Amino acid sequence: MAAVSPGVYKKVLSVRAAYPFDIACLLMRFFGSMLNIGTVTMITLSGYSFFTAGLASSLIALSIFVVTPRVSKRIDERGQSAVVPKAAAVSLAGLVILVANVMAHGPVWPLFVGALLVGFYPSPQAMARARWTYLIRSGRLGEAAPDLRTMFSYESVLDDMAFIFSPSISIALAATIAPVAGMVAGGVAFAVGVVLLCASKATEPVPGWSDEPVGENAAAEVEGQPAEGAAVPKKSLLRTSAAVRVLFVTYAFAGAFLGLFDTATVSLSEELHSPDFAGAVLMASGAVSMVVGFLFGMVRLRAPLPKQFVVAACAVGLSFGTMFLIDSAPKLMIVALLGAATYAPLLIVANGVCERAVPDARLTEAITWLNAGYTCGAAFGPTTAGAIIDLFGTMASFKVGTLLCLGMPVTAILCYRIVKRNILPAYTVVERRDLT
């Protein structure tokens, strides 16, 4: 059973203090959303092989997986404005190396150096959600505070906006102006977003603003460390939180098959002599995902959150699992739209699980670990796709993607009890504050 509340977004949109940081993080998302397909497009249109492009894209993903959670942990410890500019500067330096080498059509190895540096990219998705959670949980918004689930739905819509427009813009600029044009535009948007975010200090979470333990095994979650004391424990959440580990693995499968799917989509577009087709597929699927995510935010499901997580993971795995049927452009579009209709609910539910499974002051790191799981999978997907495409053709890569899709529902089903044990039931803002 479920209840529908069409007016739930009014409270979110009425929080004007959130506009500056949401705009900033949206601009930063534009760069992050084009890193995979934008890099592949830029490198292949410049005359390099698909394997080289896929490997460079995978190195970006691998670097993000290794570096970004540690950047987010520092953000939780020291604050966003103290850490983000330094990390962003390294990431932009990597982009400069990539672009300069492609323009000069230099050797392959500088591409890989630049790709590794780009991976210092700080996570705007995590930082925006952390700011919202801080505003809501700290009581700064009072009775005007929106529901956390609605906020996660709203942020998911912004994620999809970036996903819709940035890859297609990147591909269009690369195809019509120059191979590097799309990534350069993304880098400029990223730099502007960093400046705006760091200027919006009024909504920045205070490091250690809450050290409330969350979940049934809160003591185990900070293994060996007191529930009160240091605001941000030294140990990584990936080591101490079972729920974060389950979400990490789930997102890793998602990153693997979506990274493969994106690379294969670019390959099929080039085989059809229509590079813009890949952008059209991504734009259409992103639009569907955005609409579904917006509508999902209006629905109040009565099913327990762990069950919602299992159902959502199964829906994504099974819908994208039909990619083995792809043998033409129309079928590619159908599979992309079918999968997009299931993806946003999974993101919203997974973020809800994450929010209830970790202490408030560590939400930036926790959500970043989810995204790192995705990029960990994405480090595998494009490289695998590039090798398969070069050896066996585009259609063979779609069949391999089907196998990767099945990892999501299998993980969610097998780990259902772990997720159930490691989250608290939903509370109102007042009730959560009363727990402290």
What are the tokens at 357?
Answer: 């499974």
When the pLDDT of each residue in the chain is averaged and rounded to a whole number, the result is 80
Average pLDDT (109-135) is 88
Residue 429 pLDDT: 40
Residue 435 pLDDT: 35
What are the tokens at 54?
Answer: 């896929």
Q: Is the pLDDT of residue 48 over 70?
A: yes
Q: Is the pLDDT of residue 338 over 80?
A: yes
Average pLDDT (217-236) is 45
* Measured distance between the N- and C-terminal CA atoms of the chain, rounded to whole angstroms: 32
- The tens digit of pLDDT for each residue in 240-261 reads 788 889 999 998 898 888 888 8
HSE on the CB side for 218, CA within 13 Å? Answer: 15
What's the rounded Cα separation, in Å, for the pair 59 and 98?
12
pLDDT band for 353, please (50, 70, 90 cuts): confident
Residue 114 pLDDT: 92
What's the rounded Cα separation, in Å, for the pair 211 and 345?
29
Residue 96 pLDDT: 94
Exposed e or buried b per residue across 359-394, where buried means at least 16 C-beta atoms within 10 angstroms of its C-beta: bbbbbbbbbbbbbbbbbbbbbbbbbbbbebbeeeeb
Residue 346 pLDDT: 87
The label of the residue with tokens 């400029």 reads 188
What are the tokens at 143?
Answer: 């009775």
DSSP string computed for 204-227 = PPPTTS-----STTHHHHTTTS-S
What's the rounded Cα separation, in Å, for the pair 365 and 108?
33
Among 3-7, 134-138, 197-201, the least confident range:
3-7
If phi over 0 gives left and psi between -120 and 50 gives alpha, with beta otherwise, what is residue 123? beta
Average pLDDT (266-294) is 77
Share of the chain above pLDDT 70, in %: 87
Distances (CA, A) of 260 to 146, 396, 405: 37, 11, 11
Q: Give phi and psi for 213, each to the nearest 5.
A: -70, 140
At the topology level of CATH, where does 19-206+213-221+234-425 sit? Growth Hormone; Chain: A; (1.20.1250)
Q: Is the pLDDT of residue 407 over 70?
A: yes
Contact of 226 with 233, CB cutoff 8 Å? no
Distances (CA, A) of 252 to 142, 325, 380: 37, 23, 9
Contact of 47 with 181, CB cutoff 8 Å? no
What's the rounded Cα separation, in Å, for the pair 299 and 293?
10
Domain ranges of the chain: 19-206+213-221+234-425
Between these two residues, 436 and 167, which has the higher pLDDT value? 167
The label of the residue with tokens 């009775």 reads 143
Query: Taking the model in full, what pTM does it have?
Result: 0.73
Q: Is the pLDDT of residue 427 over 50?
A: no
